[in-house]
Amino acid sequence: MMFKITQQTQADSQVIEALMTEAFGPKRYDRSVWALRPGAPVAALCLVGYDGDQAVGSLRFWEVMLNDEIILLLGPLAVQPHVRGKGFGRQLVQEGMRLARLGRWRLVLVSGEPDYYPKFGFVPAVGYGLDWPGFVEPERLQFCELVPGALASLPSSGLVVRGITPPA
């Protein structure tokens, strides 16, 4: 089985929309994490994974504000149900994180499965007192350092996460 990862293009939009609907359902925009995604994702970090010529997975990253610092928000990560468990999601996250480390960001935040993301270096964000826009189970919020020491430099409370509104 050949899995190929490429940068997303405009031509992938319909396929990715279908992937997201299948992975998260039609009410995905009701989840609080979408309040942090008012603009466009970071194009250089948006990936699509192909099994042969079929798109079976995608990953996007968005810039968000953590107090006064721009950090990355990982997600959504979507993989077609019929190929879950074959490592496609893992490969997408590994490649996305590799590319993120090449950028100017110090941290990545994810609202995701508490058991899935630690293998990529994510740690619980519970101890940082994040102010998140809306409801989220606290155990879903996790940080990963792109720059060693980035977490140690954060204040122990008063962290506010908010989306970056695109210029008009």
The per-residue pLDDT for range 1-15, each reduced to its tens digit, is 578 999 988 888 888
DSSP the chain: --EEEEE--GGGHHHHHHHHHHHH-TTGGGSGGGGG-SS---GGG-EEEEETTEEEEEEEEEEEEETTEEEEEEEEEEE-GGGTTSSHHHHHHHHHHHHHHTSS-SEEEEE--TTTGGGGT-EE-GGG-EE-SS---GGGEEEEESSTTTTTTS-SS-EEEEE-PPP-
What pLDDT is attached to residue 1?
54
Which residue ranges form the domains of the chain, and what is each CATH number?
3-163 (3.40.630.30)
List pLDDT tens digits, range 32-76.
Answer: 676 677 778 899 999 999 988 888 899 999 999 999 999 999 988
